[in-house]
Amino acid sequence: MKTSKIIVYSSLVLFATSFFLPSYLISIFGEHTPVMGWQCFVYSLPGITDAFDSGAGFNFELFLSSVFAIFSHICLIFVTVAFLRGSNKKNRLLIVGSLGFLSTMWWLGHEVFIGGFSNLLIGYYIWALSFAGIIFGTVKQASLYSRTGKRNSTNEPKQDNDTITSAYSRSMAPVKVRS
């Protein structure tokens, strides 16, 4: 099995595992409660509309957290599907994957900024690591495809002994080659 496949498949296992690990520590009525990864995802879905319904006005922090959570998962789905299809568009994968990974880093930056770094638990770090692995493996696979010529479609004409065949597989006039 290729290295890129091993990296991506093991990262997908890490991603699934992160959903069942404690990822974030919240305080409700003074009691610290760990939230599992799947709960973080479920809580982020209605967060976009809840940010507008806040009694104190627009809750920008809730809005950004929700947008980044949803966007990072959309990017992950895009990159995973591109891996499974064997895409060779390395630059596009790198851009989308990097944007998805940067949106996972929102919580790390946010927690460092507000001083609550201890709120991030092991599930978050495994989740972020799985994103990095999936992106790395997919870009590596795309690089291998472009280097080895697999899936590399060129429109250069192919030359037989007497006939030149274009990329569209239609014969052209016979050409005599001088020696």
**11 is written with which tokens?**
């990262």
Confidence of residue 170 (pLDDT cuts 50, 70, 90): low
| pLDDT for residue 153 | 47
| pLDDT for residue 78 | 85
Domain that holds residue 149: 3-153
Q: Smallest Cα–Cα separation from 105: which of 119, 77, 124, 123?
A: 124
Number of folded domains that form the chain: 1
| pLDDT for residue 174 | 65
Which 3 state secondary structure label does DSSP give 23? strand
Residue 177 maps to a domain: no
pLDDT in tens, 31-84: 778 888 888 888 888 888 888 876 767 888 878 888 888 888 888 888 888 888
Residue 179 maps to a domain: no
Residue 166 maps to a domain: no
When pLDDT is averaged across residues 139-166 and rounded to a whole number, the result is 57
Residue 24 maps to a domain: yes
Residue 160 maps to a domain: no
Q: Smallest Cα–Cα separation from 2: which of 173, 116, 140, 153?
A: 140
Residue whose entry in the numeric block shows the structure tokens 């966007």 = 71
| pLDDT for residue 169 | 55
Residue 164 maps to a domain: no
Which stretch of 37-46, 83-92, 97-106, 125-134 has the lowest confidence by average pLDDT?
Answer: 83-92
CA–CA separation, 2 vs 13, rounded Å? Answer: 17
Nearest 10 degrees: Cα torsion 35, 37, 41, 47: 30
| pLDDT for residue 103 | 81
Q: Is the pLDDT reported for residue 102 higher than 60?
A: yes
Residue 174 maps to a domain: no
